[in-house]
Chains A and B, each alone.
Chain A
Amino acid sequence: MKLNPDVKGVWVFGNIVRTIFWTILTFIIDLFVLKNIDSYRLDLGVISGIIFISGLLVSFVFPHFKYKYFEFELQDEELFLSRGVFIHTNTFIPLARIQHIDLEQSILDRMYGLSKIVVHTAGTRSDELTIPGLPLHYAEEVRDFLRKFIKEDVV
C-alpha cells in the first residue's frame, strides 16, 4: 500500500526547516570561527549559500523519490515494509513480535491531518519500523488492529 500523497508535503516542509537550520548554523560558524582562520580562503557565506541552495533542491526532489519507494502491506500475520532511496530495505515483521506501538504526530503532520505509527519489537535495530503519512483515523484503525492481534496471539 502506498502512503497518503500529502506526506510529501510534510517531508518537504521538514526538509526546508532543516535546511534553514543548517544554513544558519554554518553561517554562525562561518562568522565566528572560520573567518579567524588564515588558511580558510572562502568568502563569508559561501558555505551557507551552497548548503541553502542544495538543501532546497534536495528538499523538493528527495520526498518524491522517498514516497515512490515507500510501501507497506499489512497482512493477517505480518507487516511488510519496503523503503529507502539510496539503501532500499524490505522488512518482514511477524505481528506476534510487536512489543508496543507508538502513534506520533508532529506539528507538520497535524497541519496535514496525518500521523505516523512506530512499531517496536524486542529486536535491536527495529526502531526504524515507522510508517509515516497515515491519515489519523486510519492510523488509529491500524493501531487498534495491531493491538488486538497482540492480545489474541499471547493469551
Chain B
Amino acid sequence: MDNVHFSRLSPLTILLRILQRIPGLVIPVYFIYTQNDKTEFYFLIISIFLGLIFFSFYLFDFIFYKYLITDKEVVIKQGVIAKKERVIPIEKIQNIAMEQTFLMKLLGLCVLKIETAGDTSMEGELNCVSLKKGNELSDYLKNLKHNFEQTVTLADESIANELEEDKVNTQNPTQDEETLIFELPTNQLLLFGLINLRLTLLPIIFWIFGIVSTYANTYIKEIIDRIEDTFEGVGNQISNIEIALYIVASIILFVISSVVIDIIFTFNTYYNFKLTKSKNKLYTSRGLLNTIKGAIPINKLQMIVLKTNVLKEYLGFYGLRLETAGGGRFNGAEIAIPFAKLELILDTLKHILPIEFPDDYLKISKKSIARNIFKQIVTLIIIAFFLNYFSDKNLFYNLYFDLVLGFITVLIFPFAFLSWKNKGYKITERQVFIKVGVVYKSVKVIPINKIQTLSISQSIWTRFLGLAKVTIDTAATSNQFDAGLRDLDIESANEIFDILSKSFYKLSKEAKHIEKI
C-alpha cells in the first residue's frame, strides 16, 4: 500500500489533547504549589519537562496515526512504538456516528466513529478530524453503504437487511401490516409472579444491610448490646424448639414477601404484554408505569432460549427469549413471550421460525458427575479454610459450622447427578439444541448458519478424563458464557465439531444459491 494516499487527522487534535489534559493537572499542580513553596523553580522545570514529554507523545501519536478510506475498506494505522494496522471492510460497517464535545465545537473538530458488529472496543475511530472532513467522510461512507445495500440480497443477513428495514420503517411506518401473534392476559400475571421463583428480596436485603452496616456501625452495636442485656436472663428460658420455630417463621415471611414483591414487579414489567409481527420484524410492547417497546429483526436472530423453572415446568408454563446480534438496550436479548403454556409458545414460534423441539436429547458423559462433585468439594474446602483463616476462633470446632458443611457436602451428590440428568443436546439439520438447568431450566436453540466460530477445548484435567468442551460462538451478546457443551466424550466432541462445520458449509452454500436465483 502506498503511503501517499493515507491521510492524517486534523493538526488541531494535538491542541485538543493538551486542552483536554489541563483539568486533570489542576489538582496535582495545586497540591504541589501550595505545599512546597520553596521549590518553585524546580517545580517549574519539572512541569516544563513533563509538558514537553506529553507534547511529544501527542505529536508522535499524531504523526503516526494515518487512515485511508477507499471504496472497499477503511484502513487505520497507528502506534509509535507498538504498531497497529486495522482493516475494516465497508460492508461490515454497521453504523457511522459523528460526535462533538464542547471543546471540539470550539476548535471545529469532530470524532468519526465507525462501528462494526464486533466487540465495541474493536471499532474504528477517527479522533479527531475537522468538521468539514468528518461530514465529507461520513457522507462518503454512507453513500458507499447505500450502494452496497442495493447489491446485497439474502445472503448477508446481518447488516444490510436491517438497514433496509429501518429505512422502510422510517419512510412508511404504516406500510407493513402488524399482526398480533401473542398477548399475555392480565389474569395470568398473578400466577406468573407467584411461581417466578426469583428471590428478589435477597439482593435488596443484602443491599440495605450493606448500607446500614457501613453508615451505622456503632448504632447497630448499641442495639445488639441492648438486646443481649435484655435477653440475658431470658436466653435460658427459650427452648430449642422455639428457636427453630422462629427461624422457620422468618424464612416463611421472607419467601412470602419475596413473592409479593415479585408479583408487583411482574405486574409493572409485563402488564399488557403484546408481541406483534410485521414482515420480518417482531415488536414487543409492555409495562404499566413505563411502556417499553422493543424490536427484534427476525433475520438477525442468533439464539432462541426456552426458559422455565421447576415449578413452572410442573404447571406446564414456559417463557421465550430471543437474542439478536449487537449490544442494544437490552444487550441483544429480548423477551418475546414472558409466560405461556408450551403449546401456545410452539404455535407462536411457527410465526417466527419453524423449529421442532426434539423429544429426546443426547446425554453428555457420565464422568461429568464425578468431575462436578470433585470440583464442588474442592471449592467447598477452599471456602471453608478461607473462612476459618479469617475468623478469630477455629471454626472447625464449631458444631454448627461442621453441620452446615456436612449438609452442603451431602447436597452436592444429588445435585451433580441431577445436573447431569438435565443436560442434553441434539443436533438437527439446521439447529443445535442445548438443554441445561436443574431448578431454572432452559433449552437454547442455535441456528447453525449463525455460528461465528467453533472451538473444542480440553484442560489438563479434562484431557486426563477423556472429556472435552465444545463452544459454539454466535453474535448473541447476552448469554456469552454457556453457549457451549461441557463434559463431552472426546469422540462425540470431535463428531459434533465435524457435523457442525459440515452443515455450516452446506447451509452457507444454500444461502448463496438462493442469492443467485
- Residues of chain A whose beta carbon lies under 8 Å from any beta carbon of chain B: 77-78, 84, 86-94, 96-97, 99-107, 110, 115, 120-127, 129, 143, 147, 150-151, 154-155
Identify 7 residue pairs between A and B in the complex whose beta-carbon atoms are under 8 Å apart, listed by A's number: A88-B457, A89-B457, A94-B452, A104-B85, A120-B116, A122-B118, A125-B471
Q: Which single member of B84, B89, B476, B501 contacts A104 (CB below 8 Å)?
A: B84
Q: Which residues of chain B are near A96, meaning CB under 8 Å?
A: 508
Please tell me if the beta carbons of A84 and B457 are within 8 angstroms of each other in the complex: yes
Please tell me if the beta carbons of A124 and B473 are within 8 angstroms of each other in the complex: yes
Q: A93-B453, A100-B122, A104-B84 are in contact. Are A88 and B116 (CB under 8 A)?
A: no
The answer to whether the Cβ of B313 comes within 8 Å of any Cβ in the partner chain is: no
Measured CB to CB, the nearest residue on chain B to A87 is B459
Please tell me if the beta carbons of A155 and B473 are within 8 angstroms of each other in the complex: no
- Residues of chain B whose beta carbon lies under 8 Å from any beta carbon of chain A: 72-73, 79, 81-89, 91-92, 116-119, 122, 148, 151-152, 155-156, 158, 325, 451-460, 463, 471, 473-477, 480, 497, 501, 504-505, 508
Q: Which single member of B73, B455, B473 contacts A147 (CB below 8 Å)?
A: B73
In the complex, what distance in Å separates the CA atom of A106 from the CA atom of B116? 25
Q: A88-B458, A92-B497, A126-B473 are in contact. Are A99 and B117 (CB under 8 A)?
A: yes
Min CB distance A93 to B, Å, is 5
Measured CB to CB, the nearest residue on chain B to A154 is B91
Q: Which single member of B79, B84, B477, B505 contacts A77 (CB below 8 Å)?
A: B505
The 6 closest A-B pairs by CB, nearest first: A123-B452, A123-B473, A89-B457, A122-B475, A122-B117, A105-B83
In the complex, the number of residue pairs spanning A and B with C-beta atoms less than 8 Å apart equals: 135
Q: Which single member of B148, B155, B453 contacts A129 (CB below 8 Å)?
A: B453
Min CB distance A97 to B, Å, is 5
Min CB distance B314 to A, Å, is 34
Please tell me if the beta carbons of B152 and A155 are within 8 angstroms of each other in the complex: yes
In addition to A147-B87, A151-B91, 11 A-B residue pairs with Cβ atoms within 8 Å of each other are A88-B457, A92-B497, A100-B92, A103-B84, A103-B87, A107-B82, A120-B122, A123-B475, A124-B476, A154-B89, A154-B91
Please tell me if the beta carbons of B454 and A91 are within 8 angstroms of each other in the complex: yes
Measured CB to CB, the nearest residue on chain B to A105 is B83
In the complex, what distance in Å separates the CA atom of A122 from the CA atom of B452? 7
In the complex, what distance in Å separates the CA atom of A133 from the CA atom of B385? 43
Q: A92-B455, A99-B118 are in contact. Are A106 and B85 (CB under 8 A)?
A: no
Min CB distance B399 to A, Å, is 28
Measured CB to CB, the nearest residue on chain B to A151 is B72
Measured CB to CB, the nearest residue on chain B to A143 is B87
Q: Which residues of chain A are near B501, meaning CB under 8 Å?
A: 78, 92
Measured CB to CB, the nearest residue on chain B to A93 is B453
Q: A122-B475, A123-B475 are in contact. Are A100 and B87 (CB under 8 A)?
A: yes
Min CB distance B514 to A, Å, is 15
Min CB distance A92 to B, Å, is 4
Please tell me if the beta carbons of A154 and B152 are within 8 angstroms of each other in the complex: yes
Min CB distance B356 to A, Å, is 26
Q: Which residues of chain B are near A99, meaning CB under 8 Å?
A: 88-89, 92, 116-118, 122
In the complex, what distance in Å separates the CA atom of A59 from the CA atom of B476? 37
Please tell me if the beta carbons of B456 and A89 are within 8 angstroms of each other in the complex: yes
Min CB distance A52 to B, Å, is 26
In the complex, what distance in Å separates the CA atom of A1 from the CA atom of B469? 24
In the complex, what distance in Å separates the CA atom of A122 from the CA atom of B456? 19
Q: Which residues of chain B are near A106, meaning CB under 8 Å?
A: 82
Min CB distance B460 to A, Å, is 6
Q: A154-B91, A154-B156 are in contact. Are A121 and B118 (CB under 8 A)?
A: yes
Measured CB to CB, the nearest residue on chain B to A150 is B89
In the complex, what distance in Å separates the CA atom of A143 from the CA atom of B158? 23
Please tell me if the beta carbons of B475 and A124 are within 8 angstroms of each other in the complex: yes
Min CB distance B477 to A, Å, is 6
Q: Which residues of chain B are near A154, meaning CB under 8 Å?
A: 89, 91, 152, 155-156
Min CB distance A11 to B, Å, is 16
Measured CB to CB, the nearest residue on chain B to A107 is B81
Min CB distance B218 to A, Å, is 25
Q: A124-B477, A151-B72 are in contact. Are A101 and B87 (CB under 8 A)?
A: yes
Min CB distance A1 to B, Å, is 19
The winner among A101, A123, A143, A150 for most chain B CB atoms within 10 A is: A123
In the complex, what distance in Å separates the CA atom of A101 from the CA atom of B86? 6
Q: Which residues of chain B are near A143, meaning CB under 8 Å?
A: 87
Please tell me if the beta carbons of B91 and A87 are within 8 angstroms of each other in the complex: no
In the complex, what distance in Å separates the CA atom of A77 from the CA atom of B502? 12
Q: Which single member of A91, A123, A147 contacts B89 (CB below 8 Å)?
A: A147
Please tell me if the beta carbons of B508 and A94 are within 8 angstroms of each other in the complex: yes
In the complex, what distance in Å separates the CA atom of A103 from the CA atom of B122? 13
Min CB distance B315 to A, Å, is 34
Min CB distance B28 to A, Å, is 20
Measured CB to CB, the nearest residue on chain A to B326 is A122
Please tell me if the beta carbons of A155 and B91 are within 8 angstroms of each other in the complex: yes
Q: Which residues of chain A are near B72, meaning CB under 8 Å?
A: 151
Please tell me if the beta carbons of A110 and B83 are within 8 angstroms of each other in the complex: yes
Please tell me if the beta carbons of A92 and B118 are within 8 angstroms of each other in the complex: no
Min CB distance A86 to B, Å, is 6
Measured CB to CB, the nearest residue on chain A to B88 is A100
Please tell me if the beta carbons of B82 and A127 are within 8 angstroms of each other in the complex: no
Min CB distance A42 to B, Å, is 16
Q: Which residues of chain B are near A129, meaning CB under 8 Å?
A: 453
Q: A88-B458, A122-B452, A124-B473 are in contact. Are A94 and B504 (CB under 8 A)?
A: yes
Min CB distance A35 to B, Å, is 21
In the complex, what distance in Å separates the CA atom of A101 from the CA atom of B460? 31
Measured CB to CB, the nearest residue on chain B to A101 is B87
In the complex, what distance in Å separates the CA atom of A100 from the CA atom of B2? 20
Q: Which residues of chain A are near B83, meaning CB under 8 Å?
A: 103-105, 110, 115
Q: Which residues of chain A are near B155, meaning CB under 8 Å?
A: 154
In the complex, what distance in Å separates the CA atom of A100 from the CA atom of B458? 28
Min CB distance B148 to A, Å, is 8
In the complex, what distance in Å separates the CA atom of A129 from the CA atom of B453? 10
Please tell me if the beta carbons of A124 and B91 are within 8 angstroms of each other in the complex: no
Q: Which residues of chain A are near B89, meaning CB under 8 Å?
A: 99-100, 147, 150-151, 154
In the complex, what distance in Å separates the CA atom of A118 from the CA atom of B122? 11
Min CB distance B475 to A, Å, is 4
